[in-house]
Structure 1
Amino acid sequence: MASVAAIVFALILRPEAVWVDLASVERGPMEVTILEEGKTRVKDRYLISSPVAGYIHRVQLDVGDAVIPGELLTFVDPTPASILDARTRAEAEARAAAAQAELQSIQQKVQAAEADAEFAQNEYQRLLALEESRFVSTEQLQQAKSTAARPQAILRSARFDEEVAAHELAAAQTRLQISTASSNGQKPAERVAVRSPVNGAVLALVHQSEGVIQAGEAILEVGDPGALEVVVEVLSFDAVKLEPGLGVRLSGWGGPVLEATVRRIEPIGFEDVSALGVEEQRVQVIADMVSPREQWRQLGDGYRVDADFILWQSEDTLQVPTSAIFEYNGSSAVFMVESETARRRTVTTGPSNGLMTQVTQGLQEGVQVVRHPGRGLEDGDQVRVR
């Protein structure tokens, strides 16, 4: 009787088992990203202005119409120019000389950009050839692809700047010729043609109707809709984690998921107010398209997209729910479950995306851990699975 009573007494005093939820340590793909809303923008825009003062004819174009370099946009009938004094004529000559120097400088930048783009493309092709032999990983190949896209974008922008500089030089020379003709008593040109400096489309009409116009006054804005960039306003806390060349995944625009790469993180932040009325410091991040033009042909200027900045990714890694990890004696730990008993195990962790955390040491695939360990759970406690 005494032994039976002792057993019953021990059962009564035994701590009640703790109810827990379990999760399995899994191996699979994982990535750490920053998600923000972004907006597309035509990368290179040019505001075409009147080269001379006079009477402008109506612009017969609409927003969205395609233009090519040298295409006639409108005419300006110049007003009779007053005779230039020596100082004013010198200023006009200086502007023309400066435009010539700017064009030569940009042409040198184009040559440098061509060399960089060719080198990056050759490096990508070299790694692509090694992929079949499994000498390079998928991550290395993706990084090389993003790296090759950046100099290509810089080259396109440099060529656009070259066309614009040539147009500016022609406009400066036109102003100088008209002023010089007037000062020499010659009859100036009856009509000055305004032409497109670049290949692209009309983005905005500033002065469509005919009427009086001043030299330098804006007429219309053109740009290449095939050279889009993505502008994303990122929290300054997250912006410090980004760097040029980082991969970006674009979605939520109504088409397939697109690839892009970070080109520039603006060095200056600004204050913004969130939808909840919270003041935030944000930074503009500019990304270039990597996906082929055919996949995003329907995208235009000012379209909304969801931008996922890929900080880290792995195709196959050991991971555990982040909620299962807690701090113990300055280290990370989890509770494993063995024979309905909680066993504390110290682990070494890697990157975390909030939901899952990489585990580099301390656990094996398939092990059961407590998903949400409570403060009262201790090593050796009996547990029951819900």
Structure 2
Amino acid sequence: MISTRNVIFGVVAALIGLLLFLGLRPQPVLVEVTEVVRAPLRVSIEEEGVTRLKDRYLVSAPVSGFVRRIDWEVGDLFKQNDLLTELEPLRSNVLDPRSRAEAEARIAAARSALSAAEEQAAAAGADAERYAEEYQRKLKLSKTRVISEDELSQARADNQRAKALLRSAQFAVDVARYDLDAASTQLKYSAAQNSVGVLKERVPIKAPVSGRVLKILRESEGVVVAGTPLLELGDPAALEVAVDVLSFDAVQISPGTPVELQRWGGQLLQGVVRLVEPVGFTEVSALGVEEQRVWVIVDITSGAEQWKNLGDGYRIEATFILWDGDDVLQVPNASLFRISGEWALFLVNDGYAELRKVRLGKRNGLYSQVIEGVALGERVIQHPDNNLADGKRIKIRQVNIR
């Protein structure tokens, strides 16, 4: 007969063996699963942009002058050819004591020169009168042949020369008078004088188009040089959106690509790409990484009433829709991995993991279109780790439902 002691030892040994078997047996891998579904899938690029006017006009001073104070305010409406401001001639200089003394001396010199010119003109007039009388007298004598033809010719030449000298002297008087006027101008139109009168010459600066005042660059009156910016004008109803995207993404965008505009403080707006600029630029990201970016220009196609509160320089988020499908067989990107240069995933097959290679189509940041490899309703493992292999036992920890 078997003793009780042997039975107890046998039972203990069996329990130890069972525990060793259970402890050394491979444990199932805990996994999260989800189903292969058919649902809408969109491939898009999202970036921040800024609104800006399509046409912006910078009004500047056409010539140097004294600009009048600009009474317009930012946001004021105006029509084409409305008067924005006026340019007056530059003010005269203020004379210091030395300059005033020099000006007075030049006036005195010009006055003396005028007197001298007048005396010379009087002398030339007397000579011209004498030679004219002499010529008339010899002309009468020549008719009776008292004097020769040579004497008459000499008298005629002397008469003409005297007339020419008289005209020259009279011109010299005019020049001296103009010099006196010029010398007197510096004193007459000094900025310290109050008798300048009303300035007749003014250059009007008018609005080139209809719109609103966007920015006043020079409000107070004062001296400006040619080309000085005065105002910035534009039409807020003609807005566009400028979005800078990575050059890697820009090659996927083309004119005509539909765009959704949102998160600007109003309702969702529709737009379309008008231009992808052919030149990129370098920008440093918030992480300090240099990025090559490209400006993409978007036209707003929604009705103006929907974005009437949207202004120039407002922040807006743009979603470029590269591809859109309504009924697409898809799996989460979290279930996919690369093996031997191909895409693959793990399926759930009666408590075991099954490795399956798949062929993908369109992809976005979360899901991928499956063209071949899985069927609707099959369950795939999300976030597979390195412990998972084909044929390995699994235990479902969580089922994710899209």
Give the TM-score normalised by the residue count of structure 1.
0.65
From 207, 221, 224, the counterpart of 1:213: 224
From 227, 238, 243, the counterpart of 2:249: 238
Contact 1:42–1:301 (Cα < 8 Å) also in 2: yes
CA deviation after TM superposition for structure 1 residue 240, in Å: 2.1
SS of the residue corresponding to residue 241 of structure 1 reads: coil
Structure 2 residue 286 is matched with structure 1 residue 275: yes
Distance 1:35 1:351 in 2: 17
Cα displacement string for residues 288-307 of structure 1 (whole angstroms, at most 9, x for unaligned residues):
21211111111111111112
Q: Which has the larger radius of gyration?
A: 2
SS of the residue corresponding to residue 249 of structure 2 reads: helix
Cα displacement string for residues 126-155 of structure 1 (whole angstroms, at most 9, x for unaligned residues):
xxxxxxxxxxxxxxxxxxxxxxxxxxxxxx
Cα displacement string for residues 37-64 of structure 1 (whole angstroms, at most 9, x for unaligned residues):
1111111101112334333222221111
Structure 2 residue 44 is matched with structure 1 residue 33: yes
Amino acid in the other structure paired with 1:285? V
Distance 1:210 1:329 in 2: 76
- 4+ long deviations beyond 4 Å: 8-14
CA deviation after TM superposition for structure 1 residue 278, in Å: 2.2
Partner of 1:255: 266
What count of residue pairs does the alignment treat as equivalent? Answer: 276
Contact 2:55–2:238 (Cα < 8 Å) also in 1: yes
Distance 1:189 1:366 in 2: 89
Contact 1:52–1:78 (Cα < 8 Å) also in 2: no
Write out aligned runs for 1:128-139 (5 A). Answer: none
Distance 2:37 2:43 in 1: 17
Moved more, 295-304 or 332-341: 332-341
Contact 1:341–1:380 (Cα < 8 Å) also in 2: yes
Amino acid in the other structure paired with 2:390? D
Write out aligned runs for 1:163-182 (5 A). Answer: none
Contact 1:335–1:345 (Cα < 8 Å) also in 2: yes
Distance 2:331 2:44 in 1: 17
Partner of 1:353: 364
Cα displacement string for residues 236-290 of structure 1 (whole angstroms, at most 9, x for unaligned residues):
2222222222122221211112122222222222222222222222222221212
Contact 1:336–1:342 (Cα < 8 Å) also in 2: yes
Structure 2 residue 58 is matched with structure 1 residue 47: yes
Partner of 1:67: 78
Partner of 2:140: none
Partner of 1:290: 301
Distance 2:359 2:394 in 1: 24
SS of the residue corresponding to residue 259 of structure 1 reads: strand
Structure 2 residue 215 is matched with structure 1 residue 204: yes
CA deviation after TM superposition for structure 1 residue 189, in Å: 6.8
Contact 2:41–2:325 (Cα < 8 Å) also in 1: yes
Contact 1:58–1:210 (Cα < 8 Å) also in 2: yes
Cα displacement string for residues 170-202 of structure 1 (whole angstroms, at most 9, x for unaligned residues):
xxxxxxxxxxxxxxxxxx973332221112111
Cα displacement string for residues 58-103 of structure 1 (whole angstroms, at most 9, x for unaligned residues):
22211111122122212223569xxxxxxxxxxxxxxxxxxxxxxx
From 32, 38, 44, the counterpart of 1:21: 32
Contact 1:233–1:282 (Cα < 8 Å) also in 2: yes
Amino acid in the other structure paired with 1:203? L
Amino acid in the other structure paired with 1:333? A
Partner of 2:277: 266
Instruction: Call closer, same or farther: CA 1:304–1:194 in 2, change over 3 Å.
Output: same
Structure 2 residue 310 is matched with structure 1 residue 310: no
Amino acid in the other structure paired with 1:28? A
SS of the residue corresponding to residue 260 of structure 1 reads: strand
SS of the residue corresponding to residue 306 of structure 2 reads: helix
Distance 1:77 1:316 in 2: 71
Instruction: Call closer, same or farther: CA 1:64–1:308 in 2, change over 3 Å.
Output: same
Write out aligned runs for 1:69-148 (5 A). Answer: 69-78=80-89
Contact 2:82–2:206 (Cα < 8 Å) also in 1: yes
Contact 2:90–2:223 (Cα < 8 Å) also in 1: no
Distance 2:227 2:26 in 1: 87
CA deviation after TM superposition for structure 1 residue 346, in Å: 2.0
Partner of 2:146: none
SS of the residue corresponding to residue 21 of structure 1 reads: strand
Give the TM-score normalised by the residue count of structure 2.
0.63
Q: Which runs of 5+ in 2 are unaligned?
A: 1-13, 92-198, 398-402
SS of the residue corresponding to residue 278 of structure 2 reads: coil
From 223, 228, 239, the counterpart of 1:228: 239
SS of the residue corresponding to residue 269 of structure 1 reads: strand
Distance 2:215 2:246 in 1: 31
Kindly report the root-mean-square deviation, in angstroms, between the aligned alpha carbons of the 2 structures: 2.8
